[in-house]
Structure 1
Amino acid sequence: MASQELDLDELVENLQTHLVTNMNNNIIAKHPNTIFESEDFNSLTEDVLISIIRLDDLLEEDKIWDYVIQWEKAKNPNLPDLNEWTSDNFLTLKTTLKHCLPHIRYFNFSSEQVVKKLYPYQQLFEPKLLTNPIPSNIITDEHALEISSWIDRKVTRYTETTHMNLNYLLEEVKMVESTREIIGGYSQDRFVFLLKTENLKNSIISRATNFNHAILYRSIYLYLQFGNVLSLHGNLKTGKDSFCGTYYYEKQIRSNTSGFLVEELEVFKVSPKK
């Protein structure tokens, strides 16, 4: 009987710990600056820091990176300015952060952020991690990995640049003016997509169901169509003649079928990774 009461007490204690942890995580997720901007942030233990950066949707990932580097430098106050670092200095950093680095979502960095924030610390990483950032103003590395997975018809998204050359990943992407939606298509395998952004939780892919009508291009009339599900007509920046319909593909990628303007257009070539 005493043993049963002890087990029950332990169960209640574990349950209370779980509830408190979840409550704290919810508070941190809603108000991350209360932690990151705190005077006590640099004194956090490693396990607490890891538990924080593992949470989803805290801040932009490059800002989380900045805070992690700040935390590390506080642990090693004798480090010189970055442009004066030696291999030993980088080794010190790598040793201090060895348990933190795997929890950084590098695929969320834009190409500009990779160059600005990660390249100065490239000695911390495996060479393949920072090779060939995506040269795009529209898509992120995460988007590129997702589309690469679609090209290979994988159920789960790639987590690294294992197959496609990320400098030349996809056929065409465009950003819809005012809504900031990112839509595009891959002509070789006949699919179109709407990529996830801050306003869209999950990306949408739609593959052709009728290959006879999957792609139609007439340069003289200035239009390109992926069936009827993505149609680009005329002057993309001045005329609202482009639209997303419903025919010849599995499903719609936009619920709004009215015409739209294209803010920016990028075209890429797909090539196997060498």
Structure 2
Amino acid sequence: MSFKFFDKLSQDFSKLLNDKKQYNVVIEVDKGENMKSFTAHSVVLCYRTSYFDKELEDAAMNENHIKTIIIPNISAQIFEIVLRYIYGGIVNIENEETKTIYELMIVANELNMDELSRKLENYLIEFKASWLRTHFSLVYRLIFASNEFKCLKQFYNDIIVKHPNLIFESEDFTSLQETALVSILKRDDLQIEEIKIWDYVIRWGISQNLTLPTNLEEWSKENFITLKTTLQQCLPLIRYFHISDKDIWEKVKPYKKILGKQLWEDLNQHLIFPNQPVKSLVLSARIISTPVLPPRVNKPFSTIINEEHSAEISSWIDRKSTIYSSKNIPYDFQLILRGSKNGFDPKTFWNMCNGHAGTIVIAKVTGTDEILGGYNPLAWDNSNAENTKIETNDSFIFSLKTDNIKNSILSRVKNKSGALWYYDSNFQSIDGPCFGNREFLLRSDVSDFTRDKLCYCGCICADYEKSITTNKYFSIVDYEVFKIVKKH
């Protein structure tokens, strides 16, 4: 039998971080005013990661026998977490923003800390999938610049095969790394017509060579060779024999010089004698799935409110003095976002609700089961350069009756110039929908409305008629955003 005392060992090694006598390494991270120095011990660094083993081997030693390593591309905040991991084997990310966890994963990979990098990668996929989807472009391009992050690559490619326009129709598609494009083209289940794949590949290849003439009729033999060389990893992955005869003639033929002579001859033969064998490799057709709709089940439209609530809200929208019957509601409540499904990051709200007009935001408060909400007749907009007050006469906030609360509260806007706040990109990582002077606001400093009790209902009543709750600060159990659409 062996006794293991890893906790005590971790604690003792962690104390070394505060040792200012025995250190022999200084590590400078970040740059400019944010530059910070950390002291460390070479024997610990070398045995914990090969990165520092190499850096210390190359670093010069001063007269005090101390070596200095400079890493300007890592922030002090991230490196402090890294050092705690190196010395104590502990990483506490409970109160860290998702962006910080993502940056920590990148740094751990750069510093050859495979164990930590893989752990954070799996954590992001399992618990922060909504953030990964929201920051698709940022993360996808970076991970394909590395040979690592296989799980994240699989995660994103699984999304792309179902929604290929996310990448092919993005503004920066042509700046996609070749390795990323190749990994997509290899997928048998890519849900897009083959001729469109051909068009995108040609577009990508041309964009890598800005000197190519814009008019194809002006291309020289050398121009075609240039494009063929650029696309040498991509061209073998096109399923040529599953492109229609018309598209082969109209779209592939103009670029036949970038194909092998044998392939072009076989394509011509296939056009005339489709059942005869060819010499070229024939890849199988991509598997384009046809979604099978499950039997319709009358599921509740909301996990928070019922038909009676929707009838009451509809009456408020139409400014009726009496409440609509639940069997005679003139609006459909079409779900845009549900926190328990799509995530509780404020940015998720701004990205998914952007452009939607005539919406209801509904939140269930933790602990009290209060149902709070607000109606915005205008379109949400996530493109503001600065925090902006939005004017309307028709918005309102409310608290709905429940088993524990006898009566609903309706509070209409009274100061139309301050009816809503639309936040700029910096604040969108903290603040979600905001009605009035924070008279109903979903907010979180840790990118999760359920965690830090920063959601707020102010009692000043500067912009709305009355307060909808006495519970000033709170977190939420769940929230939903519905688009309110008039029934035909």
Larger radius of gyration: 2
TM-score by length of 1: 0.49
